[in-house]
Structure 1
């Protein structure tokens, strides 16, 4: 659909600032047009612009830590969302072997455009309660680049995000995804010098909780730094 706005000084004898000619051209080539008071038109355009604003959501229940989102006209979601997942001991498929190992608490950062998850960053956290001063650590296992911190989703098909709870499904897909030595890096993923993730899993399979002393601090600072970066990015795009 295309909208053409013409300030028509001929129609109104030079007083073109009182009215505008608005013509809507639809995809099927049908048209409709009318004259609209300029002040009302400007107010309508201002209200339409507000639909482009990302809104800071703050902390919500069920692990939604923070984020900036907007609802698109197709009812999908765009924006950035931070989710925390508590430490847990669950199965992990490594190549042909299934281990049950401890995971540290994780922070997921999702970038979403029109319901499509465009990128996912994952960081490890320490402790059980987090705030903006909580330090971000490298994810200790495979499937996450230790430099960009982005997840390699492989052949996984991620759901369309029409509501926030769909991100829980994406988190579950992450934990369920098989991994190998791709992106596992000695002394960067964990402090140990081994370059084989299997060696790490063999040592950790008897542990009830992930030993947080093995975590390597990332280059991204803390949660507060990440949130400020997101807000600055959205603000640069004319939002918030």
Structure 2
């Protein structure tokens, strides 16, 4: 058995400074030694066992670009993950109307807390952007050029509103696949819509949807750039 005793009063009486007493009881034979606290720290540091932390990420979500994982709360997820959504024609429901709307290339960033809760940022990307190029940019510590989401249900900072959808706890990265589905399958309303989101400056979301309905490609030239410095937020 090893005892470590810090006795400042005894140290002062015996003329020791910043020291501790080590008592080793080996089969009934006691040995005592006074060493500096700094020496004790060095000895303990050398004997410390470093266990390798491993986190099984499992299957990646569709359009996966990159993940930043916090390990302080291992093995809980606590991460942010970027995914790429390729331009497509999507069905948009607004009030009692159904539209077929071209949607530009998108960047979705999901922030997952240690409790499995999630928040999402959504941005538009340029027409010539693809998944491979976007992944390389993030890997190098850069962001693609970002543009504002032109429709509704996304605030000025890029934050997605999922409405009344009950999002299940995110326990692994592949669980993020459900989020784009929830976003696009939910009826759209006028929340957060602003005419200056595009150069078309349509007064209402319905006017914008009517303008784009049935088109085969999204007119990228109408997008407005997103200014990350204006919102003072860390995107990725």
Give the structure-1-normalised TM-score. 0.67
Greater Cα radius of gyration, structure 1 or 2: 2
8 Å CA contact 2:120–2:160 kept in 1: the answer is yes
1:179 maps to what in 2? 188
Higher strand share: 1
- CA gap of 1:162–1:16, structure 2 versus 1, over 3 A, is farther
Find the counterpart in structure 2 of residue 84 from structure 1.
Answer: 84
Of 144, 158, 179, the match for 1:149:
158
Are 2:121 and 1:112 equivalent residues in the alignment?
Answer: no
C-alpha distance 72-199 of structure 1, shift in aligned 2 (>3 A): same
Contact preservation (8 Å) 2:65, 2:84: yes
Are positions 1:214 and 2:222 aligned together?
yes
CA distance in 2, matches of 1:71, 1:100: 43
Query: How far off is 1:72 after superposition?
Result: 7.5
Please state how far the C-alpha of 1:76 moved relative to its aligned partner: 3.5
Deviations 1:85-124 (A, max 9, x none): 0011121111222212111111011111115244211000
- Map 1:52-201 → 2, pairs under 5 A: 62-70=62-70, 75-127=75-127, 128-129=129-130, 130-131=133-134, 132=137, 134-146=144-156, 148-187=157-196, 189-201=197-209
State the alpha-carbon separation in 2 of the partners of residues 16 and 230 from structure 1.
Answer: 48
Deviation at 1:140, TM superposition (A): 1.1
Q: TM-score, normalised by structure 2?
A: 0.68
Find the counterpart in structure 1 of residue 44 from structure 2.
Answer: 38
Please provide the CA RMSD for this pair: 3.3
Residue 139 to residue 230, structure 1, CA distance change in 2 (3 Å): closer
Question: Per-residue deviation at 1:159?
Answer: 2.4
Query: Is the CA contact (8 Å cut-off) linking 2:110 and 2:121 kept in structure 1?
Result: yes
Unmatched tracts of structure 1, length 5 or more: 1-5, 21-36, 232-240
Closer/same/farther in 2, CA of residues 151 and 207 from structure 1, 3 Å limit: same
Q: 2: distance between equivalents of 1:93 and 1:7? A: 71
CA contact (8 A) 2:87 2:105 kept: yes
